[in-house]
A and B are shown apart, each in its own frame.
Chain A
Amino acid sequence: MIDIITTIINGLSLGGVYALIALGYTMVYGIAKMLNFAHGDIIMVGGFSIFVFFNMIGQPLLAVAAAIIVCIVVGLLTERFAYRPLRGASPLAVLITAIGVSYLLQSLAQIIFGAAPKKMSAFSDLGMLNIGELKVKIATLITLGVATVIMIALTLFINKTKVGKAMLAVSEDRGAAQLMGINVNFVIALTFAIGSALAAVAGASYILQNPTVNVSMGSMPGIKAFTAAVIGGIGSIPGAMLGGILLGLIETICNAIPGLSDYTIAIEFALLILILLVKPTGLLGKKRREKV
């Protein structure tokens, strides 16, 4: 029983990380109508920034703040130089460029930091919390808390503020939003900035759970988070949260069952294909009719 509760808490916490990444995917997809393949690698950029700044300052919170800034800058740069020139081009071209950007970030990180994983145990070793027989890592609880706070804040930001409403308008109809006087380029850049900041936070939470940083640390969580975004319905913010938490739970549960643990990734992706086959719009997504 205790094991089950621990697994669920771990699953929720991992789900929180996925949800944070998935939010970045889903916002960019909803507003810029593109799949930002490099989003996972922004997590890696965040991870390395935390590694550098933590070794420099020694203050975990400051290091995370610096990483957020670095990620926002990288996110804005990729948007400006790789994606903006292709606005209005075919989706295939944008997708291939995004793959190129992802590859670019990874290879740059490999050249600068090397492919060997870097240990970050000083950052993530926060001890355990004992409640009776239940033992939970404090890092897990922090991740869960941070993810919840950010999700609530983001929902409020989008639904209550003027800029947030502008984002919703652009995702609904870019042309009409532009006619209403919304600066579409600004809104898209802002979306990328928010997504990258979320990726930095997700990177920090990811390090809290697996205390190493390496070049390809972002690609798998990135793809899984995209899976989560699709499961929840891409473009939908509550959907991304739901999908992320579902996926986190499924992953921890599969990992806890001995025979299945080798096939966890296969199970998750099979689930993705199944959901896309049965309900391509995801659990909470809206169906869009294609117009000629």
Chain B
Amino acid sequence: MSGFTTYLKSIKRSFKLKNFIMYFILAFVIILFGTLNSVTGLKRSTVTLLEQMSYSMIMALSLSLVVGFLGELSLGHAGFMSLGAFLGGYMQTYLYPSLTAGAPLLSLVLSMLIGGLIAAAFGFVIGLPALRLKGDYLAIVTLAFGEIVKVIFTNVKFYALDGRLLSTTVGVLKTGRYDQKSLFIIGFIVVLLTMIFIQNFIKSKHGNAVMAIRDNEIAARAMGVNVTFYKLLVFVISAFFAGLAGVLYSNASHNINAADFDYNYSINFLVMVVLGGMGNLNGSILAAALISFLNNKLQTILTGDMAGFKNLFYALILILIVIYNNAPKLRGFRAKYNLRNLFNFVKAKLTKLFTKKQPVPDPAAEVEYGADWDKIPTKIEMDALLSTDFTPDNTYVPDKADKPKEGGKE
């Protein structure tokens, strides 16, 4: 019992709103739109948008795990999604008639699990070459995988149990459609569960191992991290969620076309991850909502060749954000102009506006640092020394600003 209370205490101590805010936002969205939907009924277009947002968010989270935390690039995530959409959706056409009378929800959940597991199995297969390769080679392998999946599905005809064709066009599958009105609620609940799972995974010791691989694979290996195991694990988890998103997609769109899951679709998710900030799950979710909103709205505004402007915008997002975040020469610029500084600046201005003027402290009244005899001046602060980070080009960046030397004041 005492163990439980210490556990609760440790939770209370480590509780930071920043880490949980997305849960509240998602829960709020679910409750808000759920009640709106049941009370007044939402417009068809809004429901479609919410459905698109839900599976895009799952995809963004899943890709974020690979790109942001493992540090590898997957260009075949649409392939995993396609596997989930086709095979999970196909299973659903079997499950649907047998289960639909009693439990449509059960058939949806079962097919999501099946779609996810199938995709995870393929994630394992794709993870195997990932063990020998990295960086550019791995990106190309995942791209090749996505193309292979696309080519195979565009050439496959789907038959129902009784031998009739499920769809007359090759490469298109009509899938079961879960109840139109409440699919997005289930979608958002799945987003919430995905978020909880991935965030806890990242915070566990396994997550630390994964991030250690990202930061320096050789060092991680030297520290005893099982690189093989963790790379595979991340690919399997990521593929599982992508397959799950695929089943949601197949439920939302009813008619799925293999040619839609192409390279550009994978890049679409990459844009979300990059825009949200690599290694930031909250950012990925927000960016996924924003991008799917833009996709949905711009689809009607920018028709035909004007659709190029949308892609131009995404391309600029990719290039500018990556250069801003990574260019070695922009380090000073980054430190000066970033969102956090802007936020602090605005906050300072606002507090200045709304609070009374504080009396300026008298400089003479301040205690001199050198008179502080609690500390032995010669003692080296081991913690500060151990936690020093070395940046890749080995310039020394101390965690805290150096304290003035005690002896210098005499």
Residues of A within 8 A of B (CB): 29, 34-35, 82, 85-93, 95-97, 99-104, 106-111, 114-115, 219, 223, 226-227, 230, 262-263, 265-266, 269-270, 272-273, 276-277, 280, 290, 292
Given contacts A85-B329, A86-B327, contact A35 B140 (CB under 8 A): yes
CB of B327 within 8 A of CB of A106, answer no
Contact with A along B196-229 (1 / 0, CB 8 A): 0000000000000000000000110000000000
Binding site of B, secondary structure by majority: helix, strand, loop or mixed?
helix
CB of A270 within 8 A of CB of B148, answer yes
B86 within 8 A of A: no
Tell me the B295-314 residues at the A interface (CB within 8 Å).
304-312, 314
Tell me the B9-46 residues at the A interface (CB within 8 Å).
none
Residue from the list B73, B141, B308, B316 in contact with A111, Cβ < 8 A: B308
- The 7 sampled A-B contact pairs (Cβ below 8 Å) are A85-B330, A95-B135, A103-B267, A109-B308, A272-B140, A273-B145, A277-B128
Tell me the B328-351 residues at the A interface (CB within 8 Å).
328-330
CB of B139 within 8 A of CB of A265, answer no
Q: Say how far B44's CB is from chain A's closest CB, in angstroms.
A: 28
Binds A, one of B161-169, B318-326, B367-375: B318-326
Q: Which residues of B contact A270 (CB under 8 A)?
A: 144, 148
CB of A104 within 8 A of CB of B147, answer no
B155 within 8 A of A: yes
CB of A96 within 8 A of CB of B318, answer yes
CA of A219 to CA of B305, assembled, Å = 18
CA of A192 to CA of B317, assembled, Å = 24
Q: Which residues of A contact B310 (CB under 8 A)?
A: 107
B398 within 8 A of A: no
B400 within 8 A of A: no
CA of A115 to CA of B330, assembled, Å = 37
CB of A96 within 8 A of CB of B327, answer no
Additional 16 contacts, C-beta under 8 A, given A96-B318, A272-B140, A272-B144: A35-B136, A35-B140, A85-B323, A87-B328, A96-B73, A96-B322, A97-B319, A99-B318, A100-B317, A114-B304, A226-B140, A266-B151, A269-B147, A269-B148, A280-B132, A280-B137
Residue from the list A101, A115, A277 in contact with B319, Cβ < 8 A: A101
Give the interface centre of A109, A114, A276 by most chain B CB atoms within 10 Å: A276
Q: Which 4 A-B pairs have the closest CB atoms?
A: A100-B318, A110-B308, A107-B311, A269-B144
Contact with A along B126-159 (1 / 0, CB 8 A): 0011001101110111011101100110010000
Q: Say how far B41's CB is from chain A's closest CB, in angstroms.
A: 38
CA of A272 to CA of B312, assembled, Å = 31
Given contacts A110-B307, A230-B140, A292-B218, contact A100 B152 (CB under 8 A): no
CB of B147 within 8 A of CB of A265, answer yes
Q: Which residues of A contact B136 (CB under 8 A)?
A: 29, 34-35, 91, 95
Q: Which residues of A contact B137 (CB under 8 A)?
A: 230, 276, 280
B106 within 8 A of A: no
The residue on B at minimum CB distance from A106 is B311
B263 within 8 A of A: yes
Tell me the B60-77 residues at the A interface (CB within 8 Å).
67, 71-73, 75
B118 within 8 A of A: no
Q: Which residues of B contact A97 (CB under 8 A)?
A: 318-319, 322-323
Q: Which residues of B contact A88 (CB under 8 A)?
A: 328, 393
Q: Say how far A197's CB is from chain B's closest CB, in angstroms.
A: 23
B236 within 8 A of A: no
The residue on A at minimum CB distance from B305 is A114
B270 within 8 A of A: yes
Given contacts A35-B136, A97-B323, contact A276 B141 (CB under 8 A): yes
The residue on B at minimum CB distance from A272 is B144
The residue on A at minimum CB distance from B306 is A111
B315 within 8 A of A: yes
CB of A265 within 8 A of CB of B151, answer yes
CA of A18 to CA of B311, assembled, Å = 27
CB of B305 within 8 A of CB of A110, answer yes
CA of A172 to CA of B183, assembled, Å = 56
